[in-house]
Amino acid sequence: MAKIVFAAATSHGPQLHTPPDQWGLRVVADKQKTDHPFRGNYYSFDELVKLRKDENLAAEITLDVWTEKFERNRVAMEEMRKAYEAARPDVAIIFGNDQQEMYFPDNQPAIAVYAGATIENSPMTEEDKAQLPPGIAIAEPGHAPEVALTHDCHPELARKIIADMTGNDIDVAMSTIQPRGKLQSAGASHAFGFVYRNIMSDNVIPHVPIVLNTFWKPNQPRARRCYEVGKVVRRTIDAWDSDARVAVFGSGGMTHFIIDEAFDKLVISSLTSGDVDELLTTPESIYQAGTSELKTWVALAGCIAGLDLTPRTLDYVPCYRSEAGSGTAQGFVVWG
């Protein structure tokens, strides 16, 4: 019987690979957006500055603070890489989201399992990079290599997962040819590319990418549904006639593009304690924008529920870039 020997919940955002002296690049876009979701409501940038004036966020947006937090993130990612390598997995399951890198509104499944034999992780063309918002292209090396790389997937296990999902009343899409989204030169979704590059060091083991449409309305799967997806994947692994050592990843989050430390801390405490009921009943209005990616962590929680794995929080680093509270909160948790 296959066995899950390692699990990891990890952030994957561009700020992790943007030099700290350039974290402010994204503030241009932050100021232009008029409907930032935060704690169930929507605000303009200026409204958030007023709302959060008592939090003294100005102290968080100095170069010294940014540099210190950038280094903490690097240390946590390296610790996660070492923990992954020490577990010696043979096969991986990666729960990730897609931001129109592979899927687009003409083909936007709520839940999709990639069952191709291989997947390509490739850099964007300069023309496509030019279409990205400020502060995004500079971080591309964090999820895409300099030249295209082809990685093995695990179509046999993918098809077992698809069959079990269908048998458990979860309607799931299947792709055997890698989809190409809005920018045709984009390779694997950055949720997966981050794991390939930073945790697997581009030495990618056979794996199954599972895509959850956390971002795009109207067909976002709810948190409870994502948890059920994780539980079905676990049952598939438990029933798989194989001696494979399995690693499971949830790639996404934490709160962004407006940071909410209270919710992030609830997520970490819930996952490490195994008591996720509050996460499953959190209103959908909270799981919006980048914060929605935390549903990949919820799917991970379903997959490892009840396993004799010890959780370890490597770090939690709220990386503010403005007095409005914009930025990306970074979190890194491993089980082994």
Q: Which fold has domain 3-335?
A: Protocatechuate 4,5-dioxygenase; Chain B (3.40.830)
> How far is C-alpha 145 from the chain's CA centre?
18
Q: Is the pLDDT of residue 14 over 70?
A: yes
Can you give the pLDDT at residue 181? Answer: 78
Residues in the chain: 336
Can you give the pLDDT at residue 182? Answer: 75
Q: Using pLDDT thresholds of 50, 70 and 90, give the confidence band for residue 29.
A: very high
- For the stretch 116-149, pLDDT in tens is 999 999 988 888 778 778 788 888 899 999 999 9
Give me the chain's average pLDDT, please. Answer: 96
Mean pLDDT for 185-207 is 94
> How far is C-alpha 225 from the chain's CA centre?
17
Tell me how far apart the terminal alpha carbons of the chain are, to the nearest angstrom: 18
Q: How many CB atoms lie within 10 A of CB 154?
A: 22
DSSP classification of residue 56? -
Measured distance CA(328)–CA(20) in Å, rounded:
13
What is the percent of the chain where pLDDT is above 70? Answer: 99
Q: Is the pLDDT of residue 185 over 80?
A: no
Q: Give the pairing of strands 111-114 and 207-212.
A: antiparallel
Q: Using pLDDT thresholds of 50, 70 and 90, give the confidence band for residue 287.
A: very high
Structural domain boundaries in the chain: 3-335
Can you give the pLDDT at residue 1? Answer: 85
Residue type at 20?
P
Can you give the pLDDT at residue 269? Answer: 98
Residue type at 271?
L
Mean pLDDT for 172-201 is 90
DSSP labels for 29-48?
Answer: HHHH-S-EEETTEEE-HHHH
Taking CA atoms, 191 is separated from 14, 104, 319, in Å, by 11, 16, 19
Q: Using pLDDT thresholds of 50, 70 and 90, give the confidence band for residue 184.
A: low
| Nearest alpha-carbon partner for 250 in 266, 235, 267, 265 | 267
Which residues contact residue 71 at a Cβ distance below 8 angstroms, ignoring those fewer than 6 apart? none
- For the stretch 214-259, pLDDT in tens is 999 999 999 999 999 999 999 999 999 999 999 999 999 999 999 9
Name the least confident of 65-69, 100-104, 189-193, 331-335.
100-104
Residue type at 33?
K
Can you give the pLDDT at residue 18? Answer: 96
